[in-house]
Amino acid sequence: MSAARVGVVTFPGTLDDQDAARAVRHAGGEAVPLWHADPDLKGVDAVFLPGGFSYGDYLRCGAISRFAPLMEELIPAARAGLPVLGTCNGFQILCEAHLLPGALMRNASLHYICRDQGVVVENTATPWTADFTEGQRIVLPIKHGEGRYVADEATLAALEANGQVVFRYVGNPNGSLNDIAGIRNEAGNIVGLMPHPEHAVEDLTGAPSTDGRGFFTSILKKLVNA
Amino acid sequence: MNLDTVKRAADTPGERQPYAELGMKRDEYDRVREILGRRPTSSELAIYSVMWSEHCSYKSSKVHLRQFGTKAPKSDALLVGMGENAGVVDVGDGWAATFKIESHNHPSYVEPHQGAATGVGGIVRDIMSMGARPIAVMDSLRFGGADQPDTRRVLPGVVEGISHYGNCLGLPNIGGEVVFDPCYIGNPLVNALCVGLLRKDQIKLATAPGPGNKVVLFGALTGPDGIGGASVLASATFEDESQAKRPSVQVGDPFMEKLLIECCLELYQADVVVGIQDLGAAGVSCATTELAAKGTGGMDVQLDLVPLRDPSLRPEEILMSESQERMMAVVTPDDIDAFMAICTKWDIPATVIGEVTDTGRLVMTWHGETIVDIPPGTAADEGPVYERPFAEPAGQAALNAASAAELPRPEDLRATLLQLFGSPNLASKEWVTSQYDRYVRGNTVLAQPADAGVLRISEAMPGAEETTRGIALATDGNGRYARLDPYAGAQLALSEAYRNVAVTGATPLAVTNCLNFGSPEDPEVMWQFAEAVRGLADACKILGVPVTGGNVSFYNQTGSTAIHPTPVVGVLGVIDDVAKRVRSGFTGEGDRVVLLGETREELSGSEWAHVAHGHLGGLPPVADLEAERALALVLTEAASRGLLTGSHDLSDGGLAVALAEACLARGVGCAVSLPGDDAFVDLFSESAARALVTVRPEAFDALAELCAAHEVPCYGLGGTGGGTLAVEGVLEIPVAELREVHEGALPAVFG
């Protein structure tokens, strides 16, 4: 049986693509590089939109990336059920592309913040979080200047009612509404979060936690069993 | 509007030229006339004035810096030494590391955010131009007193500039320093270090060989950045609208720099680069003269082909512009299409602006007319060299006589420790470091607040051998020590950085330095400089670590008051198996706490004297380099044998502060007793060549034997565990209280 293939997207200014690919490989999957200018998903089984400063965060974080040629393929595929995970800038891009509701604004402190952050898993009904248990407390690094999640009241209420809040911060670092660290779409195949699971998969490097592994084992099990 | 061509210069020998406004002395200007056999054109004057500036020519420091070569220890690891964009050292298994530290002090005072940001950008391009992938940065920062109002303007701006540029560039920030002292209030020090990795066979040099090869300018467009001097020149020569106010501080675009990094790496991978140089200070002037001087010797450049962000720029301004994110490459005609295709892929503007010749002349034209025709070596390498007079400062002997031994000592050592631990220099720097991404690229093994940053190196470049190795990096400096004795102060800076690398288990290999001083025209400052260089060169020889490059920053003074002489030293080390790196501080309960090294009564220049008494006098701790070397041997061997569970170096604040920091690493306390009979000296003396380590109890004998073999004093102080820092019969402080004092200090000042 060939390994599950997870696409890792590189936009100009993407920074965590190498880390995302490594995390996929460590979990036993095949990481397939996807290039922003190439409208070809290469038949991957899932897509990881990593963090960084795509297009320098000019205009608004993620605002330019959503128009990349690759996104013309990715957006309909995601709507049709392709599992997609966006972390940090990837989350911002998913919001800008309207694959996820709401927006990410400047941190309340007005400072960029890099720290190891406690996060509670609120929802495991996604292909990216199935290996966690609901209510499980994990540690993942955050590193962002614009991670304050906002949405209008109706959207927030719907997210809460539908179980679409996937992660909540323990000790809100950035002023996000309802302590939201990550959400999913209604169908559950698209997940976006500000923390970085790909920086918490090895003992030697990255955050003093390997809790990020759960994302990658979840998706690979899902793909292998599909 | 007249274009000042070579022909016009020959025809108008008497025309007055603004050499003085450009910072040139009369005799320097006369020498240019002598070299050229005529007056320089305004473009040529622009080139010579920037290339012969202190910053580019090292004219006041050169005669001293030579010692780094003449006294250099023999080192098989050194692949590229001083004189290139950055030094390169062999780190084994086919890998090489290149690293360098550079100052951006003055721009960071004028405009803290952009000044500090472009400091990072500049040093990263130096590393790229060696053929390497930049893999991490660190910053050594010094500000005025934390409570001085201007520090609240400068520090947040500097930190934000480094944060924005470095984070956006995708380089982990793995360490450095933040120091406060009123002497830096008008002259903050912003020293940025970058380290890169490359395959040993991929080293690139700044050279333009091969007549017919193309000269390509690529990266950002050229705009009117950092060319205050050129405006003077333009206004003296021309009557046109381009004299509008120009910003004198450059503005950085980290997004462009990230694209440049990936583009350069792909160019190297495709092997389509013959020579390469980054554009930093002196921009096109520096790149063209240095490339030509180190290559076949000649170059023709059509300056009007330089792509401009502002089309009104005059040739003199283009030559002096310090626009960021630009590189210059020499490419064979056969490879030029492949080169351009890679630049297009990364959306990097690239333009052929000239070609290599064998004429021995750098010739530049502007729309067909010759405006520069010079032997490039005369600008790049043959600048003026000064033997500046130096003399010991008038008050030096009195300063050295005022020892801290005379100061009243505290009764309450608990209160003293808390006072020091919450003082700005010893407090947690998390307010600063939490604004830096330390994880990006996924190879960070140790970062702040560890003593040194440690990186895994196996995944940096395609095509290189797999390796278990890692590299460690630390920077240190102590302006107070150097003020008391610049010779010893420079040695102590090296000692501390060397020790910080060794406590992680890595073997120190090579040195970079950033020498921050006042005006070289002041003989007392020049004495400090001469002593510091002599001390550092002597110490490098004894420790067996060569200087591979660095930077001198003079004129760090306000009026006639210079900063403390501040040599900042960076040390790079290698660890054979990075999985055996030693973590910082107390990592678990039930370990033995061991002090390595000899404690003397050395309190002059200490943090205690500074914080408790505002005192600076006496002589700094002895720089015992043989002891330092022996300590490093013990630390690295103990690490490779897996004896150590944690470590921490002893420096500012002595054993007391080291114990407190070790407790905070994981919230593990300790119970210890002191080896000497004077608790105050044991706790607060700053003797060098000391470290704190922890071992499992069963490993203590092996460590003690190792110490005996290397004649390193070794004292079992006690054990780890519990929730307090307890020093028997002296003090007991809950770890939570230590944390509150330590972590609350900077947020209380900076918000």
Q: What is the pLDDT of residues A82-137, one digit of tens each?
A: 999 999 999 999 999 999 999 999 999 999 999 999 999 999 999 999 999 999 99
Judged on CB neighbours under 10 Å (0-12, 13-18, 19+), B628 is buried
**Cis peptide bond N-terminal to B713, omega within 30:** no
Q: Is A36 on the interface with B (CB under 8 A)?
A: no
- pLDDT, one tens digit per residue, over B602-655 is 999 999 999 999 999 999 999 999 999 999 999 999 999 999 999 999 999 999
For residue B248, what is the domain's CATH number? Answer: 3.90.650.10
Asked whether residue B233 carries a pLDDT value surpassing 50, the answer given is no
What pLDDT, on a 0 to 100 scale, did the predictor assign at position B465?
Answer: 79
Classify residue B590: in a domain, yes or no.
no
pLDDT band of B251, cuts 50, 70, 90 = confident
Q: Is A204 on the interface with B (CB under 8 A)?
A: yes
- pLDDT, one tens digit per residue, over B165-205 is 999 999 999 999 999 999 999 999 999 999 999 999 888 88
The mean of the pLDDT values for chain B is 93
- CA B634: distance to chain centroid? 28
pLDDT band of B243, cuts 50, 70, 90 = very low
Q: Is A144 on the interface with B (CB under 8 A)?
A: no
Q: Which residues of A touch B137 (CB under 8 A)?
A: none
* CB proximity list for B603: less than 8 A, separation 6 or greater: B404, B405, B407, B609, B618, B681, B684, B685, B686
Q: Is A199 on the interface with B (CB under 8 A)?
A: yes
* CB contact (8 A) between residue B164 and residue A12: no
Q: What is the pTM of this model?
A: 0.95
Mutation pick from B437, B577, B581 vs chain A, by most beta carbons of A within 10 Å, is: B437
Q: Is A16 on the interface with B (CB under 8 A)?
A: yes
Could you give the number of structural domains in chain B?
Answer: 1
**Cα dihedral angle (B376, B380, B385, B388), rounded to 10 degrees?**
150
Asked whether residue B245 carries a pLDDT value surpassing 80, the answer given is no
Classify residue B97: in a domain, yes or no.
no
Nearest to B373 by CA among B676, B610, B715, B41: B41
Chain A, 58 to 77: residues with Cβ < 8 Å from chain B are 58
Mutation pick from A58, A112, A146 vs chain B, by most beta carbons of B within 10 Å, is: A112
Instruction: Report the gap between the CA of B586 and the closest CA in chain A (Å).
Output: 15
Q: Is A133 on the interface with B (CB under 8 A)?
A: no
> What stretch of H or E contains B329?
strand B326-331
Domain around B23: 6-60+204-380
Q: Which residues of A touch B164 (CB under 8 A)?
A: 112, 145
What pLDDT, on a 0 to 100 scale, did the predictor assign at position B623?
Answer: 97
* CB contact (8 A) between residue B439 and residue A199: yes
Classify residue B249: in a domain, yes or no.
yes
DSSP A64-99: TGGGSHHHHHHHHHHHTT--EEEETHHHHHHHHTTS
Classify residue B588: in a domain, yes or no.
no
Q: Which residues of A are catalytic?
A: 88, 196, 198
What pLDDT, on a 0 to 100 scale, did the predictor assign at position B248?
Answer: 65
Mean pLDDT computed over B665-694: 97
Q: Is A12 on the interface with B (CB under 8 A)?
A: yes
- pLDDT, one tens digit per residue, over B341-372 is 999 999 999 999 999 999 999 999 999 999 99
- What sign does the dihedral B637-B643-B647-B651 (CA atoms) show? negative
Q: Which residues of A touch B259 (CB under 8 A)?
A: 12-13
Mutation pick from A36, A109, A205, A211 vs chain B, by most beta carbons of B within 10 Å, is: A205
**How much of chain B, in percent, has pLDDT values that exceed 90?**
86
Beta bridge partners of residue B100, listed in sequence order: B194
Minimum CA–CA partner of B163 in chain A:
A112
pLDDT band of B231, cuts 50, 70, 90 = very low
Classify residue B660: in a domain, yes or no.
no
Q: Where are the alpha helices (DSSP H) in chain A?
A: 17-26, 69-79, 89-96, 153-161, 213-225
Classify residue B281: in a domain, yes or no.
yes
pLDDT band of B224, cuts 50, 70, 90 = confident
Residue B257 CA to residue B278 CA, distance in Å, equals: 11
Classify residue B94: in a domain, yes or no.
no
Structure tokens at B138: 């660190």
* CB contact (8 A) between residue A18 and residue B459: yes
Classify residue B357: in a domain, yes or no.
yes
Q: Which amino acid is at B537?
A: A
